[in-house]
């Protein structure tokens, strides 16, 4: 009973977004922190040659970290963790040398999200000068644009460094959440879409961002679980709920159901959910059902004891937690299909 209560409370916490500090200044180069040096492991939130939270395995899952044997790589771009009042002399972009913030990144997104892929791929995730959460809310769109440009510059530089020094021609998974998916979409367009590197793309998980159907010229949305080189995206809400900003942010987006890996609107019951993670990074089987609806993903209340008390409507922070094992299994399936495809093409 105690564990069930803690699991319930942790799920409620996952469904509650922090109230961001409302920045009132305009973007200034003088208040932008220095960029990272990706030749140093200090600027990688996750790297297969260092110990980090991406090496973690959920309690009670029976899984193991298999990066040492992995035949593919994942380049993971984390979401917005920079939400509080900035400290020091910086405001719109995070300082990659902020030890406290980096610790929060490790214990949240790297632990709960990047770890998904350690059963199939070597995990690379750069620290980057993420834009403050308020960049999504401000009416000063020029300031927001500049803040996001700083963030993408780091992501782009990290990816180029990764290609030149770590990749060695291995197949690549692009994975991201929220702000990370904004940058991942730009990365796919610049480096993969209709370009030679697309041949190395196992798949792209652009989670927590509403991605329009025709976002890419050559990269198709997922239509089946083993489709190589496809992209998937979803934004999770409670069943029958449309967020207030639905028309602005979500209408017209293409949603891939993480329990079926296609865009059909068919309901997928919890029995198709291989498991999620919640309290103290603990495995929870059959955590959620799912149904694609009008550009968003609907779920019923997560299937834990005491679910009656869950009143959360926006499950953005749990987009990946709720379907943790399904994403992990799908990454493995697409990677296997990639190598089968490569073998067939050489015969």
Phi/psi region, residue 306 (left: phi>0; alpha: psi -120 to 50; beta: rest), is: left
pLDDT recorded at residue 18: 59
Distance CA 146, CA 137 (A): 14
Evaluate whether 221 touches 212 at the Cβ level (below 8 Å). no
Distance CA 338, CA 74 (A): 14
pLDDT recorded at residue 5: 39
Structure tokens at 337: 């299909």
Distance CA 176, CA 181 (A): 5
Q: What angle do CA 43, 324, 266 make, to 5 degrees?
A: 135
Distance CA 43, CA 17 (A): 27
The model carries a pTM of: 0.95
Distance CA 70, CA 188 (A): 22
Q: Which residues pair with 291 in a beta bridge?
A: 298
What is the tally of structural domains in the chain? 1
Nearest to 90 by CA among 130, 62, 37: 130
pLDDT recorded at residue 31: 93
Distance CA 148, CA 156 (A): 12
Q: Can you list the residues of the chain whose pLDDT is less than 70?
A: 1-19, 347
Strand, coil or helix: 54: helix
The pLDDT tens digits of the residues spanning 72-130 come to 999 999 999 999 988 878 899 999 999 999 999 999 999 999 999 999 999 999 999 99
Strand, coil or helix: 205: strand
Strand, coil or helix: 266: coil
Containing structural domain, residue 12: 2-345
Phi, psi of 239 (to 5 degrees): -55, 135
pLDDT recorded at residue 21: 78
N-to-C CA span, the chain: 57
Burial of 49 (0-12, 13-18, 19+ CB in 10 A): exposed
Evaluate whether 129 touches 93 at the Cβ level (below 8 Å). yes
Beta strands in 121-266 (DSSP E): 121-126, 172-177, 201-207, 230-232, 236-238
């Amino acid at each position: 009973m105690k564990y069930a209560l803690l699991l319930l409370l942790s799920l409620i916490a996952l469904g509650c977004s922090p109230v961001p500090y409302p920045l009132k200044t305009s973007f200034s180069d003088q208040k932008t922190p220095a960029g990272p040096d990706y030749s140093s492991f200090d600027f990688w939130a996750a790297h297969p040659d260092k110990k980090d939270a991406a090496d973690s395995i959920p309690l009670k899952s029976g899984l193991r970290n298999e990066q040492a044997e992995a035949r593919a790589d994942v380049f993971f771009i984390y979401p917005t963790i920079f939400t509080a009042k900035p400290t020091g002399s910086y405001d719109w972009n995070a300082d990659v040398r902020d030890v406290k913030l980096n610790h929060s990144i490790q214990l949240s997104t790297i632990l709960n999200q990047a770890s998904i892929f350690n059963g199939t791929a070597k995990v690379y995730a750069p620290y980057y000068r993420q834009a403050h959460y308020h960049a999504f809310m401000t009416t000063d769109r020029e300031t927001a644009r500049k803040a996001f440009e700083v963030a993408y510059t780091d992501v782009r530089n990290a990816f180029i460094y990764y290609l030149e020094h770590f990749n060695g021609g291995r197949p690549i998974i692009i994975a991201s959440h929220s702000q990370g998916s904004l940058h991942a979409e730009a990365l796919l367009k610049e480096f993969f879409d209709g370009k030679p590197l697309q041949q190395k793309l196992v798949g792209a998980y652009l989670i927590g961002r509403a991605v329009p159907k025709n976002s890419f010229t050559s990269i198709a949305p997922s239509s089946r679980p083993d489709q190589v080189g496809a992209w998937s995206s979803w934004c999770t809400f409670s069943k029958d709920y449309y967020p207030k900003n639905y028309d602005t942010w979500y209408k017209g987006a293409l949603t891939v159901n993480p329990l079926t890996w296609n865009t059909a609107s068919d309901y997928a019951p919890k029995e198709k959910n291989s498991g999620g993670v919640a309290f103290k990074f603990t495995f929870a089987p059959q955590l959620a059902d799912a149904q694609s609806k009008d550009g968003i993903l609907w779920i019923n209340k997560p299937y834990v004891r005491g679910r009656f008390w869950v009143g959360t409507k926006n499950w953005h922070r749990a987009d990946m937690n709720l379907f943790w094992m399904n994403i992990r299994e799908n990454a493995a399936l697409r990677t296997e299909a990639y190598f089968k495809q490569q073998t067939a093409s050489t015969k």
